[in-house]
Amino acid sequence: MAETPSAFFSAVVVTILAVLGGCSAPSEAARAFFVFGDSLVDNGNNNYLATTARADAPPYGIDSPSHRPSGRFSNGRNIPDIISEQLGAETTLPYLSPELRGEKLLVGANFASAGIGILNDTGIQFRLYELGARRVIVTGTGPLGCVPAELALRSRNGQCDSELQRAAGLFNPQLVQILTALNRKIGSDVFVSANAFGMHMNYVANPQAFGFATSKIACCGQGPYNGIGLCTAASNLCPDRDTYAFWDAFHPTERACRIVVNHMMTGSSEYMNPMNLSTILSMDAAV
């Protein structure tokens, strides 16, 4: 079952919560990476759950190294995979995977699950500091009104839905304020806000500048903008995923995810506040 627009809205409010470091001083040996969120960052947990929100059938994973579906709602890698790649680390395994044992646990784990809502894990996220997390990246909402699913349901001329865009515009600044206040209370820049709206909106508003042919039509799907339902073997499928910003009705392609991670790694304070991931890694390496 595809996520409904309202479920998608609540699910992406905190898309990814990445935790770097442990209870001791951060170091290359001690760093671990934990992921919390929804289908945008799920790397296969729903394969082990009794749910219809699954990405375990072709053509999901068509551009992955194995060219097979893995449970990622993507044509290939997703944002956590690419962050791990940038860290020079192995990709974290789903927490439900039977392979997550022994030394694999030292890399971290992915707790994301497609279809999850923010109310299920609010509070747990901010208690992570007490459990030893020392670097936490929290993303705001992306351009909710611009995904193909919303264009299919709400748009008559291909323009993003203004109501959902306004909702994101109200939420995101308040998230930054909350995280800033938490850092002041702790006395350290533990929580980092990632401006997912700006990161995604760059290529959504000007796809050609990023080498995309379109940011409105999903590569895989059906109906207007290929925005009805999720991707199946019976869906329309574009031949070149690199020219599409969206893979299916809700999720970006691997290439779009790489643009987002580039912002996370080296973006200015407009995108990563108070610092980007490269700065975090340099600071931690100096400790």
pLDDT at 231 over 80: yes
pLDDT value for 11: 31
Positions marked catalytic: 39, 248, 251
pLDDT value for 6: 31
pLDDT at 234 over 70: yes
- The pLDDT-based confidence of 118 (bands split at 50, 70, 90) is very low
Q: Which residue has the higher pLDDT, 195 or 24?
A: 195
Alpha-carbon span 178 to 193, nearest angstrom: 10
> pTM of the predicted model, to two decimals?
0.88
Looking at residue 78, which CATH number applies to its domain? 3.40.50
pLDDT at 127 over 50: yes
- The pLDDT-based confidence of 17 (bands split at 50, 70, 90) is very low
pLDDT at 8 over 70: no
The residues that bridge with 136 in the sheet, in sequence order, are 19, 191
Q: Which residue has the higher pLDDT, 164 or 121?
A: 164
Q: What's the domain range around 113?
A: 5-286
What tens digit of pLDDT does each residue of 55-64 get?
Answer: 999 999 999 9
Q: Which residue has the higher pLDDT, 223 or 128?
A: 223
pLDDT value for 12: 32
pLDDT value for 116: 73
Share of the chain above pLDDT 70, in %: 85
Share of the chain above pLDDT 90, in %: 68
pLDDT at 196 over 80: yes
pLDDT value for 120: 47
What tens digit of pLDDT does each residue of 43-101 get?
Answer: 999 999 988 889 999 999 999 999 999 999 999 999 999 999 998 889 999 999 999 99
Region 186-203 average pLDDT: 94
| Number of structural domains found in the chain | 1
What tens digit of pLDDT does each residue of 235-268 get?
Answer: 999 999 999 999 999 999 999 999 999 999 999 9
Region 109-127 average pLDDT: 66
pLDDT value for 126: 56
